[in-house]
Amino acid sequence: MDGHESLPVPAESRDVVPSDPVLDGELVDEPPRPNYYTPRLGWFASWWLRSPRVPVWLKSRRQAVQALKDLLVALVRSPYRFAGAVVRGLVAAGRWWRRWVTVRDFREAAEQSEKLADKFAEIRALTLFRWKVTGAVAVVAVLGGAVVELFYGGSGLWLLVGVVAVALAVLGRRRDGSPGRKAVLAGPRTLTWTMDPQVLVDAFRDAKLIGKDETLRLVERATRIGDGWAITVDLPATRKAADVIKNREALASALAVDEVQLIVERVRGNGGHAGRVSMWVADSDPYATPPLRTPLLAVQRWDAWRPVPFGRDARDRRIDLPLVWTSLLVGAIPRQGKTFAARLAAAGLILDPFTRLYVADFKAGKDWDAAAHVAHRFMSGDESAHVVELVGWLVELVAEVQGRYRRMRELDDVTCPESKVTPEMSRDRSLGMPITAVFVDEVQVPLEDRTPVEVEGKRLAAGEYVGELLTWLAKKGPAAGIVLVVATQRPDSKTIPSGLRAVLGSRFALRVMDWRDSNIVLGEQMNTRGYDSSRLLASHKGVGILRPDGDTQAGADVLALTVRTYYMPNEDWQVICQRGRALREAEGTLTGHAAGDDLAPVLDHSAAVRAIGPGPVPPSRSAGVLEPLASIVDHLDELGKDAPEFISTAELAEVLGFEPAWHGRRLAELGCQSTRERVTSESGKVRQIGGYMTADLLAAASANRDGEL
């Protein structure tokens, strides 16, 4: 740290806690400490740490400590567990004796053969005989006890009682899948520093994730990590980790916790497989505490090539968001923290003086006003004139991207090894290729604008033109150093074109209204994989599901994760923007609007038209239609005149790759019911198969597009 810097601190509120003086410095990731013993024994130590024959608790200090805790708890609980096993054994023995003495097996066999009346005399005789046997055994047991007491005294009698108690305990031990051997309600766990794995096994069975006769294999014993329990298990053969993730809500219900307290991840890589699951169960709601201030407030400058500190997950791990070479879509209903999330992404880029910013605020508020001090282009408004101005920016950027690619072709392989901007190239002013970030808040405003724009002699709707330009920049811009960040409070298929959504690499969905809107932001069928932002609580401000395009602290193979963004009020935002302006003034990189140069860009629509094509593509019949109906309509359009009047469900599932059960439910929700038709196969056989009439599919698509469904 270099020293202290006086920073304004916002007034205390329920979400903001006064902090100590902030230190200047750069945020550095601390290298993870090794979790294994490292005795200097050469090859023996290497074998010890890698051998599958050595238990995990002998390799890991944390696992060894937890094993010792579990042993102590087992010793403390052993008298109570033994007594409980004896009672259960006594009950089991009583049930078995009652079934035996009443000749239950013989009676049931006679009932099944409908000969109960004929066998009544035999059943009665056998019952009396077994009662006599019971009496004889009881008399022998009493006499045997008296003999032991006579010859060996009280110690012998106690030894005999102990042997009988052990036998009853063995009989009454809790067996996997045996009904009547365990309590219906496990009760609260009173020991917070250990965890009984049987609780987890029971929860998996209750959630129908494993069968009654199946069990789990513990890869690592349950250990305390942060304010919760972490455990890694192997599922039974043929059971998949993806099914556990998809049914996370059912598992949380079985564990008697809220789903936000449960994190389930598949273990991948060399140490994982399709049936290995890593779980973390929080003791309480991890998002109930006040949010943390952004760590960027404590640094003097940042490197845009480093992932930006974005938030923390339920396990309190810091989640960084990579921005270079990708793009970001932020979607949410109003007042859920959408603008805060977009500003967090911008904060790291602002603190890099070699980054150029384009900021378009169509909310027309003052959330982004501080960025005007550092932005190369800046505007705030929601009128048609502002949309036309955005068109000019995007056309300028299209020409900029094309110019960068041309210049990269002329550079040697040392300076530019690939057709991508490198950190050195982005800071070389002679090349003119700085990282350029485009932020568009409330992007639905320009995308829905119908103002006519003159482009190469044609009059086009500004919204369609903006959509085509943004899509082209999201496709071609990242490798040239263009970062596109768009935010919207209307995440629906009619607002954001599917072509644009498909090329936005990173997604962040805060709370939305239903699972359809969540899938619009995160991707199709993400709700069936267990990621649905409509299930987030309204009280969890700033909490959303992040689907990153790159590695995060949770692992490179994590599909998505729930993140609570850092808190950055307007006071902190203004401090970061002022610091970014000071950095640019010192480096001489303050340009455009921030430098007082508001000259409109020289537009070359012809170059943009050549880049994106001969104009906006006319909307197809699938435009504005939800999946899977949209893909079906596109498939029928591809078939053209060869499209059949009836198409089978099996053919649709094979061509489009949809899961049949989900496919049928979705089409039913969209107003298209399946039917059965007689079809002649190639061998000449006529059989009935399930499917859909083409006319019904197109009618449902038309109704869905017109908003009738």
pLDDT in tens, 535-588: 888 888 889 999 988 666 555 567 888 999 999 999 999 999 999 999 999 999
The residue behind tokens 């029971």 is 202
Confidence check: pLDDT of 640 > 70: no
CATH topology of domain 197-282: Threonyl-tRNA Synthetase; Chain A, domain 2 (3.30.980)
User: Does 629-705 carry CATH code 1.10.10?
Assistant: yes
Largest separation between any pair of C-alpha atoms in the chain:
118
Distance CA 604, CA 455 (A): 10
- Any residues with CB less than 8 A from the CB of 352 and at least 6 apart, and which? 301, 302, 303, 304, 435, 583
Confidence class of residue 608 from pLDDT cuts 50, 70 and 90?
A: low
Confidence check: pLDDT of 372 > 50: yes
Question: 87: part of which helix (H) or strand (E)?
Answer: helix 61-101
Cα Rg for the chain, rounded, in angstroms? 34
Ramachandran angles phi, psi of 311, nearest 5° = 175, -160
Confidence class of residue 183 from pLDDT cuts 50, 70 and 90?
A: very low
Summarize pLDDT for 63-109 with one digit per residue, the tens: 777 778 777 877 887 787 788 788 888 888 888 888 888 877 777 76
Strand (E) positions, 240-383? 262-266, 276-282, 308-313, 318-321, 327-331, 356-361, 377-380
Helix (H, G, I), strand (E, B) or coil at 160: helix
Confidence class of residue 354 from pLDDT cuts 50, 70 and 90?
A: very high
Ramachandran angles phi, psi of 83, nearest 5° = -60, -40
Q: Which CATH superfamily is domain 314-612 in?
A: P-loop containing nucleotide triphosphate hydrolases (3.40.50.300)
- Mean pLDDT of all residues in the chain? 79
**Tally of helices (H runs) and strands (E runs) in the chain:** 20, 21
Which segment of 102-106, 443-447, 634-638 scores lowest on mean pLDDT?
A: 634-638
Summarize pLDDT for 504-534 with one digit per residue, the tens: 889 999 998 888 888 888 887 788 778 888 8
Domain-by-domain residue ranges, the chain? 61-171, 197-282, 314-612, 629-705
